[in-house]
Each structure stands twice: as structure tokens, then as C-alpha cells.
Amino acid sequence: MAQRLLVVVDHSANGRLALQLAGRLAESRRTTTTVLQLAAGTSEAAIRDGFASTSAETGNRGYLTVRTDACPAEIAVSQEVQNGYGMLMVGIENSEATRGVFHEQMLRIATAYAGPLALVIARGKSGDTPRSTFRILVPVRRNSVSRQAAEVAFALIRPGDPPMTAFHAMSAHPPHMPIPRREHAALARRVGAAVLSDIAELAHDEAQPIRTLLRVGPLPEEAILRQAHLGRYTLIVMAAGRPAGKTMYFGKTATHILEKSEHSILFLCG
């Protein structure tokens, strides 16, 4: 987990949600945080209140530095990251050019930092009010980035929040699979059970309650959206590969979630 966090925000709903999530991380992990506000528009007092709003106390304020920069976003970020940060979190109004397609400003900010990224997309009502509770759904796969996403999700949990749900969805019979459908479904369930067992062990280490769900069906991305709807989740914490190309393509599943989800999303990119 990053010991120093840089949070880039503006006055938007994405920015407000990013502040709440960063505040939770700071309180949970004692993370030293710098909030870089892009241009003026929100007072420093309001930023500090948003950062501390998810805590019953205001102790996490002591880990916060607030700066405002009128430079273009990518320049402000490239200058600030020289101070050394373990993660960059971004919550800005220009996050998407169209639904499901990242805005070029988000791309410019992301490419200004070579380390782990946390991209905040606010949808629905999550983060709109102080001290919001979060129902967190974490789609997990068999990779280290999914484990990191689960670690961040555990750090976001507060007393009063329901347990995090780790959700593994796998295609019942991917194209070009040489083995019969029934054998593949059985294999998929064994792999999924192993993935969820690993996350459950992490929950034990974190002393956190957890729910685990396994689904094998036609399309993993549709299974994730269906579960988010059925469980009335307010935040999907989702691992993604480092974005590639001029459109920040995260891959089929993450792109589908970005386009179709009615729930807020925190994308974590290694």
C-alpha cells in the first residue's frame, strides 16, 4: 500500500468522491496525502472537509497537504510527482470524452506518472453526502493486481459499512477452448475457488469480514454488472492493466464496465 498518495481533483463529483476515498485510505493506512487542485474553485477548507468527511474524527487531516495549480494538468502533475509518491489518484470532471471512453485530459495526466494509478469515476449517489457508507464489490482474477485491488478495498472499509464482496466471474466456455464445455466449467470453478480462497486469506490477515461469490457464465463483464445491480453496490473497485494506446484502453472487461456501469468505479492500475 502506498505510503505517499497524490490526489488530483477539481470541483466535480469525481473530485469529491476521490477526496472521500483518499480520506479513508489516509485514516486506515496513515498515508501522507497531497491534494493537487486543478485551478481555483474549491476552498482549502472545503477540500479538507471532504477529505475528512468519512471519519468520525478528523485525525486524518494531519496527513494532508493541499495545493492549487493553474498550470495545465499534465504539467502540474509531472512537476508534483518529482516529490515522490507511491500512487496517483485522479478524480476530474473531464474523465470521459463519451461514455466508456476516457478523455484526453485523463490520458495526459496518467502518462505524466509512471507508477500505480487510481482513477475515480463517480456515478449514482456514492460520495454525494458526507460520511457516505460504501457497499464495495471487487471483481478478482488470478493476478497480483486483483490482490492489490482487494487490499485497497479493505483499506476503504469503515465501521458501519457492509463487508466487501470479492466476486470472481469466468466464462463458461471461451472461444478456441479445446476441452469440452463441462470440463472447462469444472476447471473454471476450481480456479475461481482458489482465487477467492486467496482473497479470503488476505481478509483474515486484515481482520476484515468478507463475502465471496463465484459465477461461471457467458460473459464475465455482464456477470459483474448484474451482481453490482442485484447487490445494490455503490462502488466497484476493479483492477486493470496499465492503460495502453491513445485512448487508455484497459481491455474488454474493464472497458465494458466503464461504459455500462451505473455504479461508481475505482480503477486500480499497476
pLDDT of residue 205 exceeding 60 = yes
Contact 34, 5 (CB under 8 A): yes
Chain-wide mean pLDDT for the chain?
85
Per-residue pLDDT band for 36 (boundaries 50, 70, 90) equals: very high
Q: Which cell numbers in the block locate residue 8? A: 488530483
Mean pLDDT (whole number) for 104-130: 83
More confidently predicted of 75 and 182: 75
Q: Please give the Cα distance from 150 to 142 (Å, whole number).
A: 12
Residue 187 is predicted with a pLDDT of: 78
Q: Please give the Cα distance from 174 to 261 (Å, whole number).
A: 23
Q: Which of 79, 85, 117 is nearest to 269 (CA)?
A: 117
Mean pLDDT is lowest, of 91-95, 108-112, 128-132, 139-143, for: 128-132
Q: Which domains does the chain have, with CATH numbers?
A: 1-127 (3.40.50.620), 133-270 (3.40.50.620)
Residue 181 is predicted with a pLDDT of: 66
More confidently predicted of 97 and 85: 85
Out of 57-71, 158-172, 180-194, the most confident range is 158-172
pLDDT of residue 9 exceeding 60 = yes
Residue 15's Cβ-count burial label (10 Å; 0-12, 13-18, 19+) is buried
Contact 109, 73 (CB under 8 A): yes
Q: Are strands 4-9 and 32-38 parallel, antiparallel or unpaired?
A: parallel
